[in-house]
Structure 1
Amino acid sequence: MPFSTPCNLHGRLALVTGAGQGIGAACAHALSRQGATVICTDVRLQSAAATASGLSPTTQAFALDVTDSAALNALAAQLPPLDILVCNAGIVSNAPAEQMSDEEWDKVLDVNLGGVFKSCRAFGRRMLERGRGAIVNIGSMSGMIVNVPQPQCHYNASKAAVHHLTRSLAVEWAARGVRVNAVAPTYIATPLLQELEKQEALLARWMAMTPQARMGRPEEVAEVVAFLASDAASLVTGAILNADGGYTCL
């Protein structure tokens, strides 16, 4: 039977990590527009609360460090079981590989990969107990290609690992009713890239390598997330869905 309202998320409870700005904030808004009750989390409570204030009056906001297993487990126990989890929290930095410190490598991997795994583990347990749930991880086209000219091997490696973690969890949990997918965005106009946007030569190089010849918008990624979280994607699990303006086609 066809879905009459394919992305209808009414009655669903969703949690978004890194919801304080950029793609995370856009995901919170997109899920809310489709009817979900959204919980906004961010390492900065003020940022999460700012996003929550633009949603329904009952939207909750929590400070959450995705590298902290105890905090994740405590929040998962405090909340009702989730229907939707969006693992968006992430960081990026640039450093030539031969000059990169252990601390910089560890920090990016701890947040971008460890944070995704720990979030999926903490909230996924409750989904598995109920026999249903949808998880959407925010990967990156950087998990498929090597960005140029910026040196960011730690970021690229973390996102490639997120993609394979997504597939691994999808296979482990498919028969138990939990779908796990990821979105792999191109360069997105977010606060993270605000400073880079001032570097015209760098932007020109990126756009020359993008068939659509433009940056993506956070809401464009968020709409893909809402689709993957919905029943319209009920047969989709283990997918890495590119939202890259054709970048990885070249």
Structure 2
Amino acid sequence: MIKYKSRGSICMIASMSGLIANHGLISPVYNSSKAALIQLARNLAMEWSPITKEGTGGIRVNCISPGHIMTPMVRKNFEEVPGLKEEWESLNMFGRLADTTEFKGAALFLMSNASSFMTGSNMIIDGGHTAW
């Protein structure tokens, strides 16, 4: 986008794990990488969003930080750690893990012009996990 001076939107996928430590799972490398991704989005937004005299910029950069989602990786964790599924389900306000389909609306919003005044943001979609 910068090379061709085109405007647009970038949506990175981070995780609530970039904001908190996960109960019942020791994962400092994963959590650190997600925190770094959130910060990368903020910094790229600062660099790429302002429109310059040269005509570059106008690139919005945001993140989505999902909560616990039922994925193959998570299923494997549940097999390896008895009781982890029940613990994670109890840690959000809905008492369940998210389905992968519950994030497409947020992604479409961030990639569309509906979010034309949004950049450097991290949209947390975690069933209220990080709220308490």
- State the TM-score, normalizing by the size of structure 2: 0.88
Match of 1:194 among 66, 75, 80: 75
Q: CA RMSD in A?
A: 1.3
Give the distance between the partners of 1:249 and 1:135, measured in 2 at CA.
Answer: 26
Partner of 2:49: 174
The structure with more helix, counted as a fraction of residues:
1
Partner of 1:133: 8
Partner of 2:97: 215
Partner of 2:110: 228
Alignment of 1:29-68 (within 5 A): none
Partner of 2:54: none
Alignment of 1:75-86 (within 5 A): none
Give the distance between the partners of 1:195 and 1:153, measured in 2 at CA.
Answer: 18
The one-letter code sitting in structure 1 at the alignment partner of 2:17 is S
Flag the structure with more relative contact order, 1 or 2, with Cα contacts below 8 A and sequence separation at least 6.
2
Could you list the structure 1 runs, at least 4 aligned residues long, displaced by more than 6 angstroms after superposition.
none
Give the distance between the partners of 2:10 and 2:127, measured in 1 at CA.
Answer: 23
The aligned length equals 124
Partner of 1:243: 125
String of CA shifts for 1:200-247, please: whole Å, max 9, x gaps. 511111111111111111111222111100011111100100010000
Give the distance between the partners of 1:220 and 1:200, measured in 2 at CA.
Answer: 26
Identity %: 37
The one-letter code sitting in structure 1 at the alignment partner of 2:18 is G
The one-letter code sitting in structure 2 at the alignment partner of 1:170 is A
Q: Does 1:159 align with 2:34?
A: yes
Cα gap change, 1:185/1:150 in structure 2, threshold over 3 Å: closer, same or farther? Answer: same
Alignment of 1:48-127 (within 5 A): 127=1
The one-letter code sitting in structure 1 at the alignment partner of 2:46 is V
The one-letter code sitting in structure 2 at the alignment partner of 1:186 is G
Give the distance between the partners of 1:160 and 1:196, measured in 2 at CA.
Answer: 21
String of CA shifts for 1:1-37, please: whole Å, max 9, x gaps. xxxxxxxxxxxxxxxxxxxxxxxxxxxxxxxxxxxxx
Give the distance between the partners of 2:90 and 2:82, measured in 1 at CA.
Answer: 12
Give the distance between the partners of 1:248 and 1:216, measured in 2 at CA.
Answer: 14
Partner of 1:148: 23
